[in-house]
Amino acid sequence: MRALLSPLELSPQQIEALRQLANLGSSDAARSLGRLLGTSVEAVQPRAQVASRGAAQRVLQPDGAAFSVHFTVDGGARMRWMMHVTQEGAQLMGGLLLGSPHFRHKPQGGEIYTSALAEMSNIVVSSYVGGVAAAVGLTLVPSIPYVGQGSLSDTLDAAFGDLESTLLLVTDLRLPGVRHAGRIVAAPVDESLSRLLSMLGAG
């Protein structure tokens, strides 16, 4: 049985191949999010960063979020996937989702607000993994959303904290007038790193 490929062993060419794969997923996710919100959404070119165990927070530098959610992805490849939305991004997204474009504050006991953003994240993750799956010819299935209940650091730890090392594929999202609206972070795990690279011809 072939030993698992560690993210720390990846060549620059392999990292670039996975970054380009993340770009396909992010582009599909941004298009779906734009259709849902009725506005343009820009997915900034993803960056790829290798993090050792416990270093994801240093790499990503969490600075707070109004909403965060993470998923596991199974099927032909396994991934961890997380999305967080900044306060400014959540105000705009929440307003558009709830039919009030001038929405400025999370309502008290904002279950509707959280539910709307959770449903939005379901659509975004499905589009992201759909883009990745189409590129490599695999079927990928995201889990139910695990909505963050604490700080962004807590969600990062829940999503990636148990991994010995990980390749973080990071995409920042922009909305009209909101330069830092949110962020998507994906990480192939276990044997999926080798499998995806093989499908991409970079194994």
Task: List phi, psi (to 5°) of 144.
Answer: -65, 155
Residue 1 has pLDDT above 60, yes or no: no
Q: Which residues of 112-147 are buried (b: 16+ CB within 10 A; e: fewer)?
A: ebbebbeebbeebbbbbbbbbbebbebebebeebbe
Q: What is the pLDDT of residues 154-182, one digit of tens each?
A: 899 899 989 988 999 999 999 998 989 99
Give the confidence band of 108 by pLDDT, cuts at 50, 70, 90.
very low
CATH class of 10-199: alpha beta
Instruction: Parse the chain into domains and list their residue ranges.
Output: 10-199
Asked whether the predicted pLDDT for residue 10 surpasses 80, the reply is yes
The answer to pTM > 0.85 is yes
Chain center to CA of 153: 15
- Region for residue 47 given its phi and psi (left: phi exceeds 0; alpha: psi -120 to 50; beta: otherwise): beta
* 79-85 and 165-175 beta bridge pairing: unpaired
Share of the chain above pLDDT 70, in %: 90
